[in-house]
Chains A and B, each alone.
Chain A
Amino acid sequence: MAKKEDPKDPESKSKEELDKKRALRRREFVKLVGGTGVAATAQVLAGHQLASAATTTVPEPEVVGSAKVIGPGPATMTLRVNGEAKKLTIEPRVTLLDALRNHLDLTGAKKVCDRGTCGACTIIVNGKPTYACGVLAIEVADRGGKPGADIRTIEGLAPEGQLHAVSASFVENDAQQCGFCTPGFVMSCKAYLDSHHNPTLEEMKQALGGNLCRCGTYVGVRNAVVQAAMSMKGGHA
């Protein structure tokens, strides 16, 4: 269908006028969203408080037909971590991060926000960088006779006493201070470089945008990822 001429069509207005209007609209829009955003947050918080006050009993497990319901008590499961099958008995609500840290003593992945924001717990699951705090262990465990996900933690990058090329580039470029965010950065960087062989620095910034550092080591990290990208593909930029 052909486009009709419309006197109200913004395209018919002068560019200057339009720019002015758009600017105001966008500004008003952001203001509006900012305002209601805060109000909404307050409501959510108040609701959360009520909810936690009301949670006085652990809900009974729901029985659906003849399906076997796991939990809420501990269940035995097998995780495939760094190429090894690890059997552990934990509650189904235990996150993959807590399973690794509290039950397998793999503490390279750090617990910082515990809400899928900061990236300090980044590990590699089936080749993809993954926030371990945002996955339940049971989700990636063996199921129905099939092996679970391939879970790689930073401890699996290199044998004890040796450094993976990415870790080495972080050391050389001083891309760490307190170091608490470093394993997460290293894993994000490794996962990205495994599947992107010619990244630009801008692409790497995007790839590492989900990892936060408090000491402010990002300048070192920028230099480290450039070096890591080169060393992982044999020295070709």
Chain B
Amino acid sequence: MADYHWPPTDKCSLIGRRISRLDGPWKSAGRIKYSYDVNRPNMLHGKMVFSPYAHAKVVSIDTSVAEKMPGVKAVEIMTEPGKEVFWVGHEVAAVAAETEEQARDAARRIQVRYEKLPHLVSDVAPSKAGEHTKQLAEQTDGNPDQALQQAEVISEGEYGASVITHCCLEAHGQVAEWDGDDLTLYASTQNVSGIPGEIAKANIVSSADKVRVLTPVMGGGFGSKFGADSWGLACARLAKKAGRPIKMMLERDQELMAAGERPSMYAKVKVGAKKDGTLVGWQSESWGTGGPDAQGGAPNLPYVVRIPDRRVKHTAVLTNIGPARAWRAPNHPQMCVITMSALDDLAAKLGMDPVDLLQKNIQMTGQLAKTYSAELEKASQLMDWKSKWHPRGDKTSGPIKKGLGVSMHTWGGAGHPSNCNCVIQPDGSVSVSLGSQDLGTGTRTVIGIITAETMGLPLEAVKVNIGDSKYPADGASGGSTTVGGVSSSTRRAATAALNQLLEKVAPSLDAKPDDLEAVDGEIRVKGNPSKAIFWKQACAKLGTTPITGTGQRQRGNDDLLSSGVGGAQMAEVSVDTETGIVHVDKLVAVQDCGLIIDLKTAESQVYGACIMGITYSLFEEKIMDEQTGRCLNADLEFYKLAGIGDFGDIVVHMMTGPGYDERGVIGLGEPPVISPGAAISNAVANAIGVRVPTLPLTPDKVFAALETKGAVA
């Protein structure tokens, strides 16, 4: 019988190779339909009314004028009078009409009266937030006071990262279509299998099995698309009322105001070391905002480098900036920039190379110490760190100052619950089905590769069915848990199907099923390649009955996957001290993620994360106006994303081979997006001699830093 364990990588023909993503041709030909592209016969368009106030009570909603507008077919109240709205952009009502233009006109004519209530959108200091704070955590380990008293060098500083948004290019939204009591949702979601239950819970259908969710592809989620959302429920209700399909997608300003925020995080840090660089104590008071209800939770500081004696305290500032949602590696980029900046400042005070400081304390990283050490070494080599690094402040003349920075990060991964059916047909065709989804990470391709590798077939021979809630239930794609989950269930399902085929075929090869293997499009006797039968001939022995193999990601420990990765990144920057503009000349990312299924899409994940990291380090910020409570940059003109020419070289190195491959599959979506902020901030400090305390490192903040003592210009 075929063994479900991963084959050694040198025996693999597909796993670990660079393979182009399966849905690439559909996407680059522009023909595949995203939710936003679905046009159903007789379809209406929905638009929403959003609160113009950051905090208010809805007093009354009058839809009578809107209902009589041309083309209007249905209206829906989303926030009942008497209830409060908590941010500008909070959904209040929705309307469906024949055309998008008519729906927009009608939405403007829905008359809402509000009672304005006090709001807070600034997160700069808990002391100024009055009662809008909530202390989330206070923890003391060991004896930090004594440790810091005995420290030979102390560094103190304030660090942080501002609120940013997810800014998915495909806005949140869906098409809802009823057929009697059955609802089909073409939803842009990270959670295909989970949405039906949510719709049933809202009493929109009599049972969850009445709902079918279809998401063959989706245009980005990054943690903001787990739920059906209020607009999903409203769209389904409007479609029911109108008796016609409805498309309702958020407009760009709504997407930036109401579809998710990454919480901010700031901290005052005191960290101490011995003269040789040994870290002895940490103390931090942190705060940040995750919207009106303290979403986001408390950080676990210090990050990665677990200094044993520590005191940490975290306060949530309750604001009306919008709803906090998980943003790729929740809390980690913020914890990372706070910790790694503080350690970098300490290294500067010690007169140490920060890489030496991290290596000196590498045992404090715990289980992954060896990995981190190797990664720092590899990154140093790729950056040519030793020859390029200089102490704080580029002393060369001219306005352009260059510097280097380093950071390390970690993430769990593991695998979410996953179920897979693998079917072998008598004609030799193979399909695998899972209620999973591909966010652009390469999930579809990974599933195909594993199935084809298991069957000894080329990738083209396998059909991958995902993005449909009628397929076996799969977890939501979040926290880098998808690849672990689907890899395990797919490998088990494919092996189970193959073993049934081997049993059928064994007599004709005069062998036991245990002695057979599926390789190179054949079923053959191990060690005797001449005793073989072609795949199609083997499958023909099934007669008229296909084989189904099922696979499930094992509860608890699953020997096909594991958890916990490390990564190290180094940045090289140029800072123009005349304009305050920071340019990332080079970013090196060295990443461990266990067994890699598709090296090409894995590397793309890391490249993408680095670029997303450069973007939030230099450009991205949700800018709020305290007077009006509004977001001032709810458009792509002023909510800045990096363009293709806005950074230099990116070098990616994946840690593979002995020591890594045998750990099994581990997720990769989150980890590489964590370190860029700290690495770039540290490189800027190294260039200009002083710390720019918070991300993004915009010209105004660089100027302010340049005017402090110790700056080079």
Contact = CB atoms under 8 A, between A and B. Distances in A.
Contact of A105 (B39, B108, B579): B39
Interface string B431-451: 000000001111000000000
A155 B37 contact: no
B52 A49 contact: yes
Contact of B20 (A160, A172, A210): A172
Contact of A45 (B100, B101, B632): B632
B703 interface: yes
Given A42-B628, A114-B251, A174-B601, A186 B28 contact: yes
A220 interface: yes
B39 A178 contact: no
Interface residues of A, number: 80
A105 B27 CA distance: 16
B21 A27 contact: no
Interface string A174-208: 11111111110010000000000000001001101
Interface string A20-43: 001100110011001000100110
Contacts of B642: 216, 218
Interface stretch (B311-319, B401-409, B603-611): B603-611
A221 B222 CA distance: 21
Contacts of A220: 604, 607
B699 A30 contact: yes
Contacts of B699: 30, 34
Name the prevailing secondary structure of the B interface residues.
loop
Interface residues of B, number: 82
B217 interface: yes
A171 B25 contact: yes
B578 A26 contact: yes
A84 B425 CA distance: 43
Interface string A128-149: 0000000000000000000000
A153 B609 CA distance: 30
Given A171-B24, A178-B170, A214-B168, A219 B220 contact: no
Interface string B90-128: 000000000111000100110000000000000000000
A157 interface: yes
B461 interface: no
Nearest to B26: A179
Interface in A41-98: 41-42, 45-46, 49, 52, 55-56, 58, 90-91, 93-94, 98
6 contacts: A42-B627, A45-B630, A178-B169, A214-B612, A218-B643, A219-B607
Interface of B: 20-21, 23-34, 36-37, 39, 45, 52, 99-101, 105, 108-109, 167-171, 217-220, 222, 249, 251-252, 399, 439-442, 577-580, 600-601, 603-605, 607-612, 615, 623, 625, 627-628, 630, 632-633, 635-638, 641-645, 647, 650, 699-700, 703, 706, 713
Interface of A: 19, 22-23, 26-27, 30-31, 34, 38, 41-42, 45-46, 49, 52, 55-56, 58, 90-91, 93-94, 98, 101-102, 105, 107-115, 117-118, 120, 153-155, 157-158, 160, 163-164, 167-168, 170-172, 174-183, 186, 202, 205-206, 208-222
